Each structure stands twice: as structure tokens, then as C-alpha cells.
Amino acid sequence: MVLRDGVPTASGQALLKRLNLMTIVRLIKDHPGISRAEVVERSGLTKSTISVLVQELLDEGWLVEGASLVTSDVGRRRTPLSLDGTRIGLLGAEIGVDTLRVVACNLLGEILDARSAPHEPGDPATTARAVAKLLVESHDALIGRRYGVLGMAVGVPGVIEDDGSSVRFAPNLGWQDVALGTLVRTALGRKCRGLSVAVLNDARAAAFSQYVFGAERHLEPLVYLSLGMSIGAGVVVGGRLQVGHNGLAGQVGHVILDPTGRQCSCGRKGCAETVISQRAVSLLVTGKETPVLAVAELTQRLRRGDAAAQEALARAGHHLGVLMLAIGNTLNPAVFVLGGPLAQIGDPFVITAIETMRAELGRFDHHDVAVQICRFGQNACALGAAGSVLQNAITA
């Protein structure tokens, strides 16, 4: 808050009002269906303030009122308040190694428009133009359905600068120090004028999909593991994504599991990515670096009883279990959420991982950690990027 001699200034008052408005949105998001009286109780704000601010939020398209209900004994009426899913839209994108994805969703995380295009990493400006094209199409789809757009964010498999504007290092894209926010903003042109473009790590974005829109938001610590061409983690503790001292938290793909192992894209040897990723599994199955087998192909091979695929996935699953064990011992999470294409391969990959982890964790009495498969599938990163726009708006 901006104060002058202890008195809120005009801009301070505006900021305070915005904070109060977003506190109300956050409360109603976490407790859909609560009444104004319950908002007063939970927020500590006065009844008259809540009355004015709730009306403002109804007018702005954040909230919607349900049919009023008569409460039991004294015949008092209460009107349930919920987030409005029909007027404010969010845009999220994922820049993957082989695919670009964009989703448009409402405040409830319901997907209203989804698009994708093949991607070959190379010149960042070319990628920015391609992702901007999809964003403009989804933006127009939202406008066509009479939604206002709150903002947009892009998930990238790499290390992102603290201010969420640029990519410091993305080994799987071959990028270093790329001002991606500015590149996408420029490529969007005039159509999306005034909208911010935030950049965030892909696994953190995907963790947000579960945290902002999933049922797991009350389970903490939550560890989301992204399992695909790269391996990464998004960690939520105390209601916030952990970014670490230098923005480097969650780089679990570069935890060394085998110091004498294969060279990783980061330059070190035997990182988790060299034994768990899709590339690592594919190499074990075919003995070749390229082409990297698609998850659909791996699944088909398993169905045919292909022993090499079976063994490669069980071995990668074992390594994943060892990695989860290390994370489990460090953070004592309430829940692991497994996402990314490899998470779709339950047996033997995920099953072996869970068995490996539980066998060891059980000895230390934290055997009740839950393991779930991400419910948002291939849209997790883009949807979570969209979710980050909402989360950032409502978090002081």
C-alpha cells in the first residue's frame, strides 16, 4: 500500500481497493457458493465494504450470483456467490520441443478454445511468431464469444528470469538469453494491444494447472513432475510456486542419478533426463538417438508384448522412483502429480516408479504420499500458464 504520513494516498487507496477486490475473488474461488455474510466473516472487511465490492465484481464479470436460498431457522436468505465462467477469459501457451499449444479458458479452467501446431526449435523469433499466431486465433475466439481477456502467459522448458519476461536457458530448445515476452508481444501486433505476456517454466505452469484449477489445491506440498522429452518439477508450498533463490528451483531433470552415465544436454553426465526422459527410453528401445519414439508408438509396442519396450520403460520407471524418493525425502510432499506424455504409460513405467518409491519411503513412515496422474493431459502446461494469469491477478 502507498502511504503518506500514514494516510493512504489516492493511488494507495486504489491499490488497497484492488487488493480487497482480489481478496474477495480468492475467497470465492476457494469456497464457491459462499454468501456475502461468509465473505464478511472470512475477510474481516465490513459488511458495507463487501456489499459495494461484490457489486463491483459482479459488474466486472468476476462473480455471478446463484439463486438465493432460505437458510434454516430464522428464514434469512443467503445468495451463493461463485466465479463467473462466462465473461472473463484467460490465454495460455506452451512452447514444447515438438509442439506449440494454446488454450483459452474461463475463470473456472474450462477450456473454450484449444489449438496446436508442430514445432521445430530454432530461431526464437520464428517460434514467437508461430505461437503469437495461435494466441491471436484463440484471442479472437474469446472475443467472438463476448469474453474479455485478462492476460496471457507462455510456458517454456527452461530457466526463466525472475521478472517473467525472458528465457535464461532452454537446452532442449537450444536457446539462451531470449527476450521471449517482448518477441511474442511484438508478433501479436495490434490485435492484443494492452495485454501482458508473462513467461514461465513449463513444469511450473503445469503445476499451476493442478493448483489453480484442480482438486489438489488444498493438498500441500504438491510436487508436479513433467515427464516427456525433458524432466522438470513444479513445487507448491504454502500456496505458492517455489522458484528458489535464483529462479532455479525444480530443475529435477538435472539431478545426477548416475555420475558415470551419458552426457546430458546441460553438459553434465547422468542427469535424470538421461535415464527417465522420452529420449532416454527411445534410445534404450532402438539403440539410436533419432528418431525419438512417440509415446503412442511406445504404447503400441507394449501392447504387442515388445520385450525391449517393456524393459526400457521399467528401467526408466525405476529411475523415476529413485528421483521421487529423493524429492519425497527432501520435501515430504502430500501429493505427487505426474504429467507429460510419459505419465500416460501406467504399466510398467508409472507403476514401477511408485513401487520403487513406496518401498523405500515406507521405511521412513511417509507412506501416505498420494500419486496422481495429471487430469489435464497434453493441455496441462498451456492451461496452467492461463491459470497463472488468474493466480497472479488474485495474489497480493
Joined grid coordinates for residue 162: 525472475
Q: Which stretch binds Zn ion (CB under 5 A): 10-18, 67-75, 263-271, 276-284?
A: 263-271
By rule CB under 5 A, what string of x and - marks binding of each residue 98-137 to Zn ion? ----------------------------------------
Site for Zn ion in 265-284 (CB under 5 A): 266, 268, 271
Residue 103 has phi, psi (to 5 degrees) of: -130, 150
For residue 205, the minimal CB distance to Zn ion (Å) is 20
Contact between 204 and 188 (Cβ < 8 Å): no
In this structure, the dihedral spanned by the alpha carbons of residues 54, 55, 59 and 65, taken in order and rounded to 10 degrees, is 70
Q: Which strands form 159-160's sheet, in the order they lie side by side?
A: 159-160, 167-170, 175-178
For residue 270, the minimal CB distance to Zn ion (Å) is 8
Residue 35, CA atoms < 13 Å, CB-side half-sphere = 11
Distance CA 102, CA 353 (A): 31
Contact between 343 and 299 (Cβ < 8 Å): no
Q: Burial level of 360, CB count in 10 A (0-12/13-18/19+)? A: middle
For residue 261, the minimal CB distance to Zn ion (Å) is 10
For residue 94, the minimal CB distance to Zn ion (Å) is 21
Q: In this complex, which beta carbon is closest to Zn ion, that of residue 267 or of residue 305?
A: 267
For residue 203, the minimal CB distance to Zn ion (Å) is 14
Distance CA 35, CA 70 (A): 12
Closest CA to 379 of 114, 158, 89, 106: 114
Q: Which stretch binds Zn ion (CB under 5 A): 122-130, 254-262, 316-324, 386-394?
A: 254-262
Is there binding between residue 256 and Zn ion (CB under 5 A)? no
Q: In this complex, which beta carbon is closest to Zn ion, that of residue 49 or of residue 265?
A: 265
Q: Which stretch binds Zn ion (CB under 5 A): 63-71, 160-168, 188-196, 260-268?
A: 260-268
Q: Which of 141, 264, 335, 369 binds Zn ion (CB under 5 A)?
A: 264
Closest CA to 273 of 259, 287, 299, 254: 254
For residue 252, the minimal CB distance to Zn ion (Å) is 10
Q: In this complex, which beta carbon is closest to Zn ion, that of residue 142 or of residue 203?
A: 203
For residue 297, the minimal CB distance to Zn ion (Å) is 25
Q: In this complex, which beta carbon is closest to Zn ion, that of residue 230 or of residue 388?
A: 230
Closest CA to 217 of 372, 342, 328: 372
Q: Which stretch binds Zn ion (CB under 5 A): 27-35, 77-85, 155-163, 261-269?
A: 261-269
Size of the site for Zn ion (CB under 5 A): 5
Taken in order 255, 260, 262, 268, the sign of the CA dihedral is positive
Q: Which of 26, 36, 119, 254 binds Zn ion (CB under 5 A)?
A: 254
Residues that bind Zn ion (CB under 5 A): 254, 264, 266, 268, 271
